[in-house]
């Protein structure tokens, strides 16, 4: 995680409604992205979001509409597809806009939701893959064991989302939007997480 330690002064929070903090930087100007880069990355990101979103929605539709596809493994793959769809349709658009514009336009609630959903879907994806692995191990090593009952599968899926939500809930509570004022007068709003006890804004990077 990157900590922004080069803060020259901090204005009183109460003077800026809706912001957790306001920081003044010695940087000459805020980061800008060329028009060519914006167009290029917009095409790439849009393509990825459409393919990922449509592909996972197709998987969900196939499993839900075809009774023969409702196997133990496919239920977990369905759960994985739901999590990946959340990434493609909720997380990626907001984060792409944030990265390209170097500004957070979605407000405090949007910041908290984005930080929460990003990790919620990632953790749910990982746990779903773990469930698929356990199911395949069980089928190969113990082929004579009976299939898991539907209630166990549903309980496992619900448990995945409960664990994922509990694991990522601190990001919702500690996320906040912060206004950065650069030496040239440029203002940028950023969505960061303030982890106690130091109270400094951190950018977070997720690796899965």
- Report the pLDDT value the prediction gives residue 29, as an integer from 0 to 100: 52
pLDDT higher at 74 or 35: 74
Secondary structure string (H, E, C) spanning 86-141 = HHHHHHHHHHHHHHHHCCCCCHHHHHHHHHHHHHHHHHHHHHHHHHHHHHHHHHHH
| Mean pLDDT across 149-174 | 92
For residue 15, is pLDDT > 50? no
Residue 100: per-residue pLDDT = 82
**What average pLDDT is seen over the chain?**
79
Give the residue-averaged pLDDT of 191-196: 80
Q: Which domains does the chain have, with CATH numbers?
A: 6-203 (1.20.1070.10)
Model confidence pLDDT, tens digit, residues 51-90: 999 999 999 999 999 988 888 888 999 999 999 999 998 8
Average pLDDT (30-59) is 84
Q: Is the pLDDT of residue 128 over 90?
A: yes
Specify the pTM: 0.74
What per-residue confidence (pLDDT) applies to 188?
81
């Amino acid at each position: 995680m990157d900590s922004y330690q080069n803060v020259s002064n901090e204005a009183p929070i109460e003077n800026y409604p809706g912001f957790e903090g306001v920081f003044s930087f010695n940087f000459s100007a805020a980061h800008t992205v060329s028009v060519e880069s914006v167009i290029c990355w917009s095409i790439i990101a849009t393509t990825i979001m459409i393919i990922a979103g449509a592909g996972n929605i197709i998987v969900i539709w196939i499993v839900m509409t075809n009774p023969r596809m409702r196997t133990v493994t496919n239920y977990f793959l369905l759960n994985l597809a739901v999590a990946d769809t959340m990434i493609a349709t909720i997380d990626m658009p907001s984060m792409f806009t944030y990265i390209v514009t170097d500004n957070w336009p979605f407000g405090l609630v949007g910041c908290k939701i984005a930080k929460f959903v990003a990790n919620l879907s990632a953790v749910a994806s990982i746990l779903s893959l773990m469930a698929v692995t356990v199911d395949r191990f069980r089928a190969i090593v113990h082929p004579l064991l009976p299939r898991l009952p539907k209630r166990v599968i549903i309980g496992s899926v619900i448990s995945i989302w409960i664990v994922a939500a509990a694991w990522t809930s601190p990001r919702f509570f500690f996320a906040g939007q912060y206004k950065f004022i650069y030496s040239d007068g440029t203002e940028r709003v950023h969505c960061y997480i303030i982890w106690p006890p130091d109270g400094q804004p951190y950018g977070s990077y997720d690796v899965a």
